[in-house]
Structure 1
Amino acid sequence: MTKRQAIPGVVLPTWDATQTRILDAADALIATRGVRGMTIAELARRSGVSRPTVYRNWSDADDVVRAALLRRVALILDRFPAPATTRAAIVDDVLRFAALFRSDHVYRHLLTEEPEAFTRYTLERVGSSQRAILGWLAVAIRAAQHDGSVRGDDPQAMAVMLLLVAQSALLSHGTVSELIDESSFERELRAAVEGLLRP
């Protein structure tokens, strides 16, 4: 695994061909069997490599899950080639990121079938995936502060709060789907993000 820097200030890893093959198999396992169905033996079988090959790259199944989830976030962030530079663009990007996140087959499984696993891997501690998202948000917030469309408080603190708002909305979406339709959900999330950033 090497590092890449597609977004200023955000360093994301890259994976070689063997690691990509293993993580592709991990994605399929998580999306069909869930985190509980992830074993090194099954992962090695599905990816066509030996168990020692898996262990040369990751210490255990939990480590593989975290790498797979980080790669899913990296693939989503790749869809945003340039950071936003205005409040309106940040709001659009956060809503688009949330939509891409919800439609990602791995994260969609966790959100709908294993919310406790989603909580464990994304909410209980700030891991590499969250740090990548925070870096992406902070870069955009700083740029929009220069534009004058975002209030001039600490960009990192604002990025943290944006992440909390978006994560909470994503995790709770299924729970409240009977109370709020899709267009209203998006409208209210947009209003919450807009209000957080407005000067």
Structure 2
Amino acid sequence: MADGVTDTETAILDAALAEVVAHGIRRTTAADIARHAGIARQTLYRYWPDVQAVFAALVTRELLAVVPRPADAVDLDGIVGVLVATADGIRRMPLVERLRDTDPELFSRYILDRLGTSQRTMLALLAGDVAAGQRGGWIRQGDPAQIAAMVLLIAQSAVQSAPLVAEWLDDGAWRAELGRALHGYLAMPA
């Protein structure tokens, strides 16, 4: 057991990931996940009340796995680099690519209607990083939570909409332009 997660929970989430990447969320059932994990469906329900809760746990696990630790950035270029690498990592995740293609309503729910656990966790970490950068004199002044919220919106929209602008922004240009946008937003005024 690592971080309070049992081997069975890990097996269920790994199976859910494989099934969702193969078939999308709408076409993945609790029975599919249980079968892939080699467990009884009732075992799945000992850990989560329904398949939607499994999907939520899966998305949270996968997104938070690419979030760096706060000590990863010690200056503005460092935090921008970490933010761009994180956004790029999320953009390239097979789970995100599959959900974008097969389950766009799930994306819109977490863009237009509500914040998920992973987004709230990212906001809290980012607000701490912003406050540290402000104390260090390399991030502009302002409410760290508000700045973090806007950074999340900028990065999230860049991740979600990247395919729309692929004609103009290849992978390298996408990373460079997102970096410029974040750097300009966070920088101390000249």
Q: TM-score, normalised by structure 1?
A: 0.86
Compared CA separation, residues 52 and 122, structure 1 to 2 (3 A): farther
Structure 2 gaps, min length 5 = none
CA distance in structure 1 between the aligned counterparts of 2:74 and 2:59, rounded to whole angstroms? 27
Matching residue of 1:15 = 5
CA distance in structure 1 between the aligned counterparts of 2:63 and 2:5, rounded to whole angstroms? 14
Residues paired across the two proteins, number: 188
- The amino acid of 2:117's aligned partner reads S
CA distance in structure 1 between the aligned counterparts of 2:33 and 2:170, rounded to whole angstroms? 38
Matched, 1:155 2:144: yes
- The amino acid of 2:36's aligned partner reads R
Matching residue of 1:68 = 58
Tell me which of 156, 173, 177 is aligned to 1:184.
173
CA distance in structure 2 between the aligned counterparts of 1:122 and 1:56, rounded to whole angstroms? 30
Compared CA separation, residues 121 and 34, structure 1 to 2 (3 A): farther
Residue aligned with 1:82, SS: helix
Matching residue of 2:127 = 138
Higher strand share: 1
CA distance in structure 2 between the aligned counterparts of 1:59 and 1:150, rounded to whole angstroms? 43
Matching residue of 1:174 = 163
Matching residue of 1:82 = 71
What displacement does 1:104 show? 1.8
What displacement does 1:113 show? 4.1
Cα deviation 1:86-141 (Å, max 9, x = unaligned): 22111000111012112222122223443332222455311111011112211211
- The amino acid of 1:156's aligned partner reads A
CA distance in structure 2 between the aligned counterparts of 1:81 and 1:126, rounded to whole angstroms? 21
CA distance in structure 2 between the aligned counterparts of 1:183 and 1:73, rounded to whole angstroms? 22
Contact kept, 8 Å, 2:21 with 2:94, in 1: the verdict is: yes
CA distance in structure 2 between the aligned counterparts of 1:147 and 1:111, rounded to whole angstroms? 38
CA distance in structure 2 between the aligned counterparts of 1:49 and 1:145, rounded to whole angstroms? 50
Contact kept, 8 Å, 1:134 with 1:156, in 2: the verdict is: yes
Q: TM-score, normalised by structure 2?
A: 0.90
CA distance in structure 1 between the aligned counterparts of 2:75 and 2:69, rounded to whole angstroms? 14
Cα deviation 1:140-163 (Å, max 9, x = unaligned): 111111110101211111111111
Cα deviation 1:156-188 (Å, max 9, x = unaligned): 111111111111011111111123333322222
Q: Which stretch shifts more, 29-38 or 82-91?
A: 82-91
Residue aligned with 2:169, SS: coil
CA distance in structure 1 between the aligned counterparts of 2:58 and 2:168, rounded to whole angstroms? 33
Matched, 1:92 2:81: yes
Q: Percent identity?
A: 37
Cα deviation 1:48-74 (Å, max 9, x = unaligned): 111111111111111111100000022
Structure 1 gaps, min length 5 = 5-13
